[in-house]
Structure 1
Amino acid sequence: MKNKILSILVYFLVSLSLHALERADLIEKVIPAVVSISSEQIIKSENNDRTIKIFPRDDFFDDFRRFFDQFDKFFMDDKTPRHAIFLGSGFIVDQGGIIVTNYHVIQNAKEITVTMNDTTDFKAEVLGYDAHADLAVLKINADKPLPYVDFGDSDKVRVGDSVIAVGNPFGLGGSVSAGIISAKFRNANIPGNANVNEFIQTDAAINMGNSGGPLFNLNGQVVGINTAIYSPNAKGNIGIGFAIPSNSAIPVVDVLKRGEELKHGFLGVTIQPLTREMAETLGIKNIKGVIVSDIVKDSPADKAGIKLYDILLEFNGKEVSRTTQLVQMVLMTEPKSKVKIKLLRKGKEINVEAIIKERVDHRDYGNDYKKEDKSNTGYITGFTVSDLSRENITKKGVVVVDVDYNSHAASHVRKGDIIMQVNGADTTSTKDFNKQIDIAIKKNDTSILLLIYRNGHQSLTVVKLRGK
């Protein structure tokens, strides 16, 4: 028995050693292609004679933070122009010196320096960048072929797969950390990354300065580009990092390295997940696809005949299972392309065609309103609504003026929300709203489906009725 246990222990130790050796061999192979990037900018400071290293600050929603965080706010707040050096990472994808990194690493840079693993420095030029994708492509000129790495297929990575992050955290170039794929298709809601909302999540230790660096699989292929970490109260790495999937980056990089501008597609719908409660309210048995909660007037979706409450099932032959997935597919569709969309409307599948337009950023501002004629259905719904004034109103509906925080509605409705529809019927006044609630009660409905306008966006939600 002792010999058997000893044999197992020896086998385990040998296997562990071989695995570590294989990993070391892999790192030795790929690390020459990973570079440190420093970009020089003019900032406001009190003394022109000093140059400091600063990690630029760009707060995420919900405590998401970029890897670059400034060292010294005092210098940033002063009004005198001054040089600052921002640090990040990147990797070479072509022996001719093509480098991929994050856009926020080189944003507004006056001069960019790339440092190889052997400490050789090069001045870099920007071939192209895309702020929405948070990607940039640089070029350095060397007198010999440079080491490079290849992209892998991020669709093939699985949760639990081992990965390796290499980069320049805190200016410590060539730093390596290991971990696993913690999750896929993660929506981190990072401002400026509207084109990337299906991140790979990893627990590999990545910190400030890792931005733009590669996330390798154990075949030495780049499956992700390290972009962000979750860091409550700016405490640094806690094992929750995010990387742009390689399959999202490849088409962007292909365009940018040719020096061309990337154009994003626009369909003109607001979508959200189809929840079980929504499906039950709409009488839908199979919960699949995403539901339309808003349509931009005269947009490709509007012209194609897509309507509110439609369930989008397929986009150009590909099944739609997540909102972030459809957003990604639309954004990466070439403008002027004709796409086929399969949708479900009132229990029937319908096929429509839309011609994708080019996306143009815009901002939707809120509306002013005043309270009038409160509804008398507050107890049943858990919230009270009032008529809107007809001045400066672009959306028709009733405004929520009070919410009972002991009700089911408290988790779904906020004071100031505009209720545009109840169960698919327009509610342009409190009279309309009360009528729809009465209809729901007579039908013995246990809940109502609301179309809500909030902060410039429409969304759908289900609220349970009291006493039902």
Structure 2
Amino acid sequence: MRYAYAITSAVLLGGAAAAMTLQPPATAQTAQNEPGAMAALAPRAGAPISFADLVAKLQPAVVNISTKQSIKVQQAPANPFAGTPFAELFGGQGQGQGTPQPQTREAQSLGSGFLISDDGYVVTNNHVVAPGARGASVDSITVTLTNRKEYSAKLIGRDPISDLALLKIEAKGLPFVKFGDSERTRVGDWIIAIGNPFGIGSTVTAGIVSALHRATGQGGAYDRFIQTDAAINQGNSGGPMFDLNGNVIGINSQIFAGQSGGNIGIGFAIPAGEAKPVIDKLMQGTTIARGYLGVGMRPLTEDVAEALGLPKNSGELIQSVSPGEPADKAGVMVGDVIVAVNGQAVTQDASLSYLVANVKPGTRIPLEIIRAGKKQTINVVVGTRPSEDALIAAAGGQPGDDAMGQPDSDGPASPVANKLGLAVVPLTPQIAQNIGVDSTVKGVVISGTDPSSDAGQKLKRGDVIVSVNGTAVTTPAALSAIVAQAIKDGRPSVLLYVQRQRLPAQFVPIKLKK
């Protein structure tokens, strides 16, 4: 998954910070996509012969956005004796004397946006105007209209969670467009996308809505995109997606890219219905508060559901519970499967993160869970979601789903290895110290794997199995007994809770060998 924008490097120099102001929008002028103005331009039902009239009306409201950024880097002074016999006396071939000297490198970002008022409010993606690297600062933002007029833009506000930002340019009487109702959008509807791909200038592409409520794997409150086959490339980020009535139904944001980094017919837009409330709050300068439980989870995919004996994609499995956070206070436990939030089912289209994030903090709601195969209800008071930076810091570099996936073939066989594909030994304090696991962890340590097994593809020596199918294991015999019971019950797989060094523990579904 890639954002649909590009960053390019340039020369060394210093920089300054961008200012921030807030002004109310003027509404005297008529929007370019006012229903009365669009009625005569909308193509008749069926495949349109031409989008030209529609584009002529809408394109002036779409803008190109560029930023200049400064990135601080550490660079050692050059060794004047590099390449000579004296090089080693003065710090080696590539190093000079003294400490590394901080320098500043300039970078540029390119993207798109669109005007939503005649006095210069511009909507775009956060990643178009946010610093593009650690240690970077945005020195200036420039908005270019289709008539090639350039304006210096002020950042009114940005929201990394929704990937939205609001800018302001000082001008009057500008062409602008309004948000439409994305809830009325249907799969198969024609759409057009306007933006600035690769920085070449205003470009129009067309396609259909390929899917709605599409999750791209990023999780969170806004992982519900409009998918399209219209050509969307790097640089299109922040540009509008229009329906054939000229309504802004989405903000182009991400693409699945081929090896070349270009369009392969799978692009994603933030629905207008999700974007407009965020933009309104950014314009008002109010805080955007979202609900939060304080849990780590994974979808109930087919292999996980199979191991638990539950229907697939009908809930999410809790992998971790943050101490002191709302879920912990309510009694949610690792291994619980949350199947409904406040009466709404947790599904692929309505993830746990999405449902919780859209609950007002401080609200008491019921969570329907499955624990040890039995349904029960837990009431929780929803907290306030921390910032993305705070969540990343708290996670401590949480690995992705593939973090457990390095195969390992060494190790002795054992009765467990016959079906599970693993050999294990008890976890002693000495072994825990040797493999870098916290002394409080209890379980059995993998001493070897069968490379032909599913476990051999996902786990490796030194991983600690804490539990199997929700039952704690501290001896090889206990593990063997649980596996034997799973086979007796006709289960094709089991669910292991695995600790690797000091990384957050994860649930790993393992298919049993036949």
Query: Quick check: 1:465 aligned with 2:497?
Result: no
1:378 matched residue in structure 2:
417
Q: Is the 8 A contact 1:270 1:458 kept in 2?
A: no
Residue 234 of structure 1: SS of its match in structure 2?
A: coil
1:170 matched residue in structure 2:
198
Counterpart pick for 1:295 among 297, 321, 327: 321
Counterpart pick for 2:207 among 179, 184, 201: 179
The alpha-carbon distance between structure 1 residues 135 and 387, as it changes in their structure 2 partners (threshold 3 A), is: farther
Residue 20 of structure 1: SS of its match in structure 2?
A: coil
1:317 matched residue in structure 2:
343
1:192-271 matches, cutoff 5 A: 195-271=221-297
After TM superposition, give the deviation of residue 365 of structure 1 in Å: 5.6
After TM superposition, give the deviation of residue 270 of structure 1 in Å: 2.5
Gaps of 5+ in 1: 1-13, 46-77
Q: For residue 118 of structure 1, what is the amino acid of its counterpart?
A: N
After TM superposition, give the deviation of residue 439 of structure 1 in Å: 4.1
1:420 matched residue in structure 2:
466
Q: Is the 8 A contact 2:306 2:312 kept in 1?
A: no
The alpha-carbon distance between structure 1 residues 456 and 153, as it changes in their structure 2 partners (threshold 3 A), is: farther
Residue 256 of structure 1: SS of its match in structure 2?
A: helix
**In the aligned structure 1, how far is the partner of 2:105 from the partner of 2:305?**
58
After TM superposition, give the deviation of residue 400 of structure 1 in Å: 3.4
Counterpart pick for 2:171 among 112, 137, 142: 142
**In the aligned structure 2, how far is the partner of 1:286 from the partner of 1:172?**
45
The alpha-carbon distance between structure 1 residues 266 and 286, as it changes in their structure 2 partners (threshold 3 A), is: closer
Aligned length: 415
After TM superposition, give the deviation of residue 164 of structure 1 in Å: 1.0
Deviations 1:252-280 (A, max 9, x none): 22222222343443212223333455555
Counterpart pick for 1:109 among 138, 149, 157: 138
1:254-403 matches, cutoff 5 A: 254-275=280-301, 278-279=304-305, 281-284=307-310, 288-322=314-348, 325-345=351-371, 346-359=373-386, 360-361=390-391, 362-364=394-396, 376-388=415-427, 389-391=431-433, 392-393=437-438, 395-403=441-449
After TM superposition, give the deviation of residue 210 of structure 1 in Å: 1.1
Q: Is the 8 A contact 2:292 2:384 kept in 1?
A: yes
The alpha-carbon distance between structure 1 residues 357 and 41, as it changes in their structure 2 partners (threshold 3 A), is: closer
Q: For residue 452 of structure 1, what is the amino acid of its counterpart?
A: V
Residue 94 of structure 1: SS of its match in structure 2?
A: coil
Runs of 4+ in 1 over 6 A off after TM superposition: 14-18, 371-374
**In the aligned structure 2, how far is the partner of 1:44 from the partner of 1:341?**
47
Q: Is the 8 A contact 1:375 1:386 kept in 2?
A: no
Q: Is the 8 A contact 1:128 1:260 kept in 2?
A: no
After TM superposition, give the deviation of residue 26 of structure 1 in Å: 1.9
Q: Is the 8 A contact 2:220 2:357 kept in 1?
A: no
1:117-136 matches, cutoff 5 A: 117-136=146-165
The alpha-carbon distance between structure 1 residues 419 and 217, as it changes in their structure 2 partners (threshold 3 A), is: farther
The alpha-carbon distance between structure 1 residues 151 and 464, as it changes in their structure 2 partners (threshold 3 A), is: same
2:182 matched residue in structure 1:
154
Deviations 1:20-65 (A, max 9, x none): 34x22222222121111121223579xxxxxxxxxxxxxxxxxxxx
Counterpart pick for 2:122 among 99, 120, 124: 99
Q: For residue 162 of structure 1, what is the amino acid of its counterpart?
A: W
After TM superposition, give the deviation of residue 347 of structure 1 in Å: 3.3
**Identity over aligned residues, as a percent?**
39
Q: Is the 8 A contact 1:198 1:325 kept in 2?
A: no
**In the aligned structure 2, how far is the partner of 1:238 from the partner of 1:425?**
45
After TM superposition, give the deviation of residue 15 of structure 1 in Å: 7.6
Residue 48 of structure 2: SS of its match in structure 1?
A: helix
The alpha-carbon distance between structure 1 residues 447 and 170, as it changes in their structure 2 partners (threshold 3 A), is: closer
Deviations 1:428-450 (A, max 9, x none): 34343234334445656543232
Q: For residue 24 of structure 1, what is the amino acid of its counterpart?
A: A
The alpha-carbon distance between structure 1 residues 376 and 331, as it changes in their structure 2 partners (threshold 3 A), is: same
**In the aligned structure 1, how far is the partner of 2:312 from the partner of 2:102?**
60
**In the aligned structure 2, how far is the partner of 1:403 from the partner of 1:373?**
8
What value does the CA root-mean-square deviation take over the aligned residues?
3.5
The alpha-carbon distance between structure 1 residues 432 and 303, as it changes in their structure 2 partners (threshold 3 A), is: same
The alpha-carbon distance between structure 1 residues 343 and 96, as it changes in their structure 2 partners (threshold 3 A), is: farther
Greater mean alpha carbon deviation, residues 247-256 or residues 126-135: 247-256
After TM superposition, give the deviation of residue 139 of structure 1 in Å: 1.2
After TM superposition, give the deviation of residue 167 of structure 1 in Å: 0.6
Q: For residue 234 of structure 2, what is the amino acid of its counterpart?
A: M
After TM superposition, give the deviation of residue 351 of structure 1 in Å: 4.6
Q: Is the 8 A contact 2:238 2:253 kept in 1?
A: yes
The alpha-carbon distance between structure 1 residues 29 and 294, as it changes in their structure 2 partners (threshold 3 A), is: same
Gaps of 5+ in 2: 1-42, 74-100, 131-136, 400-409
1:456 matched residue in structure 2:
503
Q: Is the 8 A contact 2:306 2:492 kept in 1?
A: no
Residue 42 of structure 1: SS of its match in structure 2?
A: strand
Deviations 1:138-189 (A, max 9, x none): 1122233x32222233344333222111011222332100112223343334
